[in-house]
Amino acid sequence: MTPTDVNAAPPDDIIICRDVHKWYDGFHAVRGVTTYVKRGEVVIIIGPSGSGKSTFIRTINRLERHERGQIIVDGIPLTDDVRNIDAVRRHVGMEGALFPHLTVAQNVAFGLEKGRQRGRLMAEALQLVNLEGYAARYPHQLSGGQQQRVALARALAPAPDLILMDEPFSSLDAGLRGQLRAEVRAILKERGATVICVTHDQEEAMQLADRMAVMNEGRIEQLGSPEQVFNYPDTRFAAEFFGTADFLPAWRDGAYLTSEVGRIPWSEAWATPSRTDDELQVMVRPDCLDMEPEEEGNGVVVQREFLGAFNLYSVGLDSGRRVQVMQSHLARFDPGTRVRTFLREGHQPLPFIDGQALVDEPAYATEPDSS
């Protein structure tokens, strides 16, 4: 993603960020983020604690000032000019904690302009989140899920072009979270809202995202659909952060790339002059591997984790390395069982070199369409 001329960006990109930087007293929290968000898209920003997720989204409505780079919201460049900041903020709603001293109705009406439309817009927003009967209640008289829905109604009521959310479901228990996420996604899609949402919850990212951005140390490490990031992580960091992944040394063996757990056909597209084959690795996810008991096998069961429908086995390979292998809940192997671990049919482990994937994912847009 190289920064390009602003004028080249098509109008369907509601947000354009180019080389955005933010420092806190010398600490470089956001380090050159370049990204584009399309109208109506739900983009989830995921990454470990401290990777700059919140700081980055807060630059978009100027809760934090970016010190370098360019942010354009719906065609308006975000500059230090107050009129300019106000203009951008009119396009952006931020989903956040409710005011405890205001009723549900007052909370939802908070961002709406005074006038005859105000009551109607408030009522419509509450209807959208199925809380019509709760207008007179105070936040403490609502469940966590209901409070979350009111917060969403408040963000949606002024019909902003863009909604920013920071860990919106973090206070809810797992069951309610899953249910509410599905409801919220349906509401956002019905409204055609563009959303940028921060989370560090992988499940949340998969359930909500059209595209997700994996952040690491202030940078976007990868941007793509959840399937793209899972199946074709660009980097070892993205692979390990989003899903479980083990990396095994691999070597070129004639027409094959071979590792301890099997081989795949070698592709000439992987060979580049600057790379030496001895640094090769393959990424194996637990669902990519299979195993069966075998005295002459290549490893030993170390541990079994029961995950409901699945058992997740940790297998100590003869080389001393460990891999995780997904099995059905019916496949029970005791620790100490000698097994053969091998590539599951139809699964291709991804080759890596020096922490970088050798295989490009199928083409997808990380930059504005040129159409």
Ligand X SMILES: Nc1ncnc2c1ncn2[C@@H]1O[C@H](COP(=O)(O)OP(=O)(O)OP(=O)(O)O)[C@@H](O)[C@H]1O
The site that binds ligand X (CB under 6 A) totals a number of residues, namely 12
- Give 167 or 294: the residue with its C-beta nearer to ligand X: 167
* Interaction mask 94-113, ligand X, x per CB under 6 A: --------------------
Binder to ligand X among 33, 34, 44, 55 (CB under 6 A)?
55
Tell me the three state secondary structure of residue 302: strand
* Interaction mask 288-307, ligand X, x per CB under 6 A: --------------------
Q: If you count DSSP H runs as helices and E runs as strands, how many of each does the chain have, helices first?
A: 9, 21
List binders of ligand X among 175-204 (CB under 6 A): 200
Verify binding: residue 53, ligand X, rule CB under 6 A.
yes
Task: Tell me the β-bridge partners of 285.
Answer: none
Query: What's the DSSP call for residue 235?
Result: B
Task: Tell me the closest approach of the beta carbon of residue 31 to ligand X, in angstroms.
Answer: 11
Q: Give the binding range for ligand X (CB under 6 A) out of 43-51, 221-229, 304-312, 348-356.
A: 43-51
> What is the rounded CA–CA span in Å between residue 53 and residue 215?
7
* 71 close to 17: Cβ distance less than 8 angstroms: yes
Binder to ligand X among 6, 24, 186, 292 (CB under 6 A)?
24
> What is the rounded CA–CA span in Å between residue 148 and residue 197?
14
84 Cβ contact partners less than 8 Å away, ≥ 6 residues apart: 76, 77, 78
Residue 193, Cβ neighbours under 10 Å: how many? 21
Q: Which two tokens stand for residue 89?
A: 């903020």
Verify binding: residue 47, ligand X, rule CB under 6 A.
yes
- Give 29 or 73: the residue with its C-beta nearer to ligand X: 29
> What is the rounded CA–CA span in Å between residue 358 and residue 341?
24
Task: Tell me the closest approach of the beta carbon of residue 21 to ligand X, in angstroms.
Answer: 12
Verify binding: residue 50, ligand X, rule CB under 6 A.
yes
- Give 202 or 314: the residue with its C-beta nearer to ligand X: 202
Instruction: Give the strands of the sheet with 262-265, arranged side by side.
Output: 262-265, 256-259, 246-253, 280-284, 350-353, 356-357
Residues binding ligand X (CB under 6 A): 24, 27, 29, 47, 49-55, 200
